Copies of this chain bind each other. A is one copy, B any other.
Amino acid sequence: MQGERIWTAGLVVIGDEILSGRTQDRNIAQLAAWLNVQGIRLNEVRVVGDETGAIVEAVNTLRSRCDYCFTTGGIGPTHDDITVDAIAQGLGVGVVHHPQAMAILDAYYATRGGLTEARARMARVPEGAALIENRVSGAPGIRIGNVFIMAGVPHITAGMLDALTGTLEGGRPVVSRTIGCWVAESEVADMLRDVEKAHRDRAELAIGSYPFFRNGRTGANFVVRGPDAAAVDACLFDLTTRLEAAGHAVAAEGI
């Protein structure tokens, strides 16, 4: 299992509304879960405001560092939607109206007051780009090279990800299994470290420890993650056995 290629992605979340605290981001978790199923690992996320320089820097860094670079936000019709222009600038290409996007918007707005100049802004793409189907509303997403430009509104992003499902090359999906104990994680910290160390020699995996305090009691969930399901299960079995030997009852699916 060692030496297997790991496919990676970066995400740039674009929008003053996230940095101001007005809007709770949901796209990080949504993209992360979707990527797991595609066998692609989310390596880094950057959240930047509606500012050309910041977008260019983040996208250029993550697209060169990762196999795929996704962005969310800033592709609507208004003055604060500058994602397309910033990415085109970062790529050193011009911006054009994509004919197919124009046709899609024309059809979408035919019964909604017509395709105004502001709405036609949503057909603008970096030169050489392809479209990502929008199954929810009018304006499509955009793919150029390894950059995927998506909506900020989570349910529209979800539709775009749905359209991309199965189209990106990835490795084996990451498997994740959880167990839980009513124990302070600090009591079993050494055990967790030892078990991870023992199993990490054989397969790429990691144990995460997530403590909580609920109904006046202290507990923790332990999550084993890796691309090799058998190795994850073996690690989980080992951890469960050791926890029970130390007198901690283990809840099989977490608490």
With an 8 A cutoff between CB atoms, is A100 at the interface?
no
State A147–B140 Cα separation when bound (angstroms). 41
Given A29-B24, A187-B113, A190-B118, A19 and B46 contact (CB-CB distance below 8 Å): no
Give A68-110 interface residues, CB cut-off 8 Å to B.
Answer: 76-80
Report the bound CA distance from A10 to B19 in whole Å: 10
Is A56 close to B, CB under 8 A? no
B17, A36: Cβ atoms under 8 Å?
no
What total of chain A residues lie within 8 Å of the partner, measured CB to CB? 68
> Does A32 make an interface contact (CB < 8 A)?
yes
Tell me whether A116 and B20 are in contact (CB under 8 A): no
Smallest beta-carbon distance A160→chain B, Å = 16
Docked Cα-Cα span, A45 to B20, in Å, equals 11
Q: Within 8 Å CB of A76, what residues of B?
A: 185-186, 209, 211
Any chain B CB within 8 A of the CB of A168? no
Tell whether, in the assembled complex, residue B137 and residue A209 are in contact, meaning their CB atoms are under 8 Å apart. Answer: no
The verdict on A202 contacting chain B, using a C-beta distance below 8 Å, is no
| Interface assignment of A208: CB less than 8 Å from any CB of chain B | yes
Residues 135-163 of A contacting B (Cβ, < 8 Å): 137, 153
The answer to whether the Cβ of A165 comes within 8 Å of any Cβ in the partner chain is: no
Tell whether, in the assembled complex, residue B79 and residue A192 are in contact, meaning their CB atoms are under 8 Å apart: yes
Cβ contacts A to B, 25 pairs, < 8 Å: A13-B45, A17-B223, A18-B45, A19-B43, A20-B32, A20-B176, A21-B31, A22-B210, A22-B223, A25-B28, A28-B47, A43-B49, A44-B54, A45-B47, A76-B211, A77-B189, A78-B186, A78-B209, A79-B189, A80-B206, A80-B207, A116-B187, A118-B186, A121-B189, A137-B213
